[in-house]
Amino acid sequence: MIKIGIVGGTGYTGVELLRILARHPQAQLAAVTSRAEAGMPVADLFPSLRGSIDIVFSDPASAGLERCDLVFFATPNGVAMNQAPALLEAGVKVVDLSADFRLKDIGEWEKWYKQKHAAPEWVAQAVYGLPEVHRERIRSSQLVANPGCYPTAVQLGFLPLLEAGVVDAEHLIADAKSGVSGAGRKAEVNILFAEASDNFSAYGVPGHRHWPEIRQGLAGVAGKPVGLTFVPHLTPMIRGIHATLYARISREADFQKLFEDRYRNESFVDVLPPGRHPDTRSVRASNLCRIAVHRPQGGDTLVVLSVIDNLTKGAAGQAVQNMNLLFGLPETLGLDHVPVVP
């Protein structure tokens, strides 16, 4: 059994992680930390976990995280970079669901996250946890930087095209929409029910923190810098991401076959038949990414549709997928549940 600690178990990503681990046959939950909720049974805060999780929240200072085999950080940006190094030095494996170790350029990270990085020496050692690209490196790593939700959907959608070199990498467009749970479990006016319901809006158009992460990943695949316009939107739904991706064709190919061949052996990427349109409900509460590729009017622009659940493949599910790789387990273990409909 893998002895697991979770730092930050009170948010949406934290409870999603708990939901998945509660049914994972190799997971032994040792600690879930929260200063504010220390001493409270986890199931009192999240009644959905009654009968599945019987642990209480503990204070981080007395949680004994250094005795765990693996610690997940489901925390705001800036927490893991301060707390993870001591655990790593003690030999604990870490999967960080925040952005603290995703960007390799420290200056770029500090520019976008508006703070000084506390553990730059660990950034170089962290492996970016997109299994469909870095599977073998993840297996032998100690620190995994779990990708963001938008970056997961966008990178998986563009990946086959950039690997094959069949599109103009200098002019990529990602038009992406997310449910309000992507903003986290917090009280902010723009995500109140009366504000977000029956409404639709773009945000972060001048610049979004996920833009450099997506660009870094795509450049690694393409083998050169890429040009990317990324526009996120807030949609009146709880969970899910829909990314509509545009790329100009630079070389002819059988694009449907290209996607099918690339993802044929990927358990969590489903390429739909020609002409289909994936929707967010088809992946809700699952670790799946569903993709469809279109060529409108037979023109020179490809449109790729990529959908994920932002809390699962976009966060907690992918984190458990990385856990399975770290410990030599089947990658699908604990993650083979089907999507929830309606």
**Catalytic site positions:** 149
The number of residues in the chain equals 342
Quote the CA–CA distance of 88 and 95 in Å, as a whole number: 11
Handedness of CA 6, 10, 12, 16 (dihedral sign): positive
Backbone angles phi, psi at 72, to 5 degrees: -95, 135
Quote the CA–CA distance of 204 and 306 in Å, as a whole number: 20
Instruction: Identify the three-state secondary structure at position 233.
Output: strand
Match 């690209």 to its residue by tokens: 133
Which spans in 165-209 are helix H? 193-196
The two three-digit tokens of residue 316, written as one number: 């907690």
Backbone angles phi, psi at 156, to 5 degrees: -65, -30
Quote the CA–CA distance of 268 and 333 in Å, as a whole number: 12
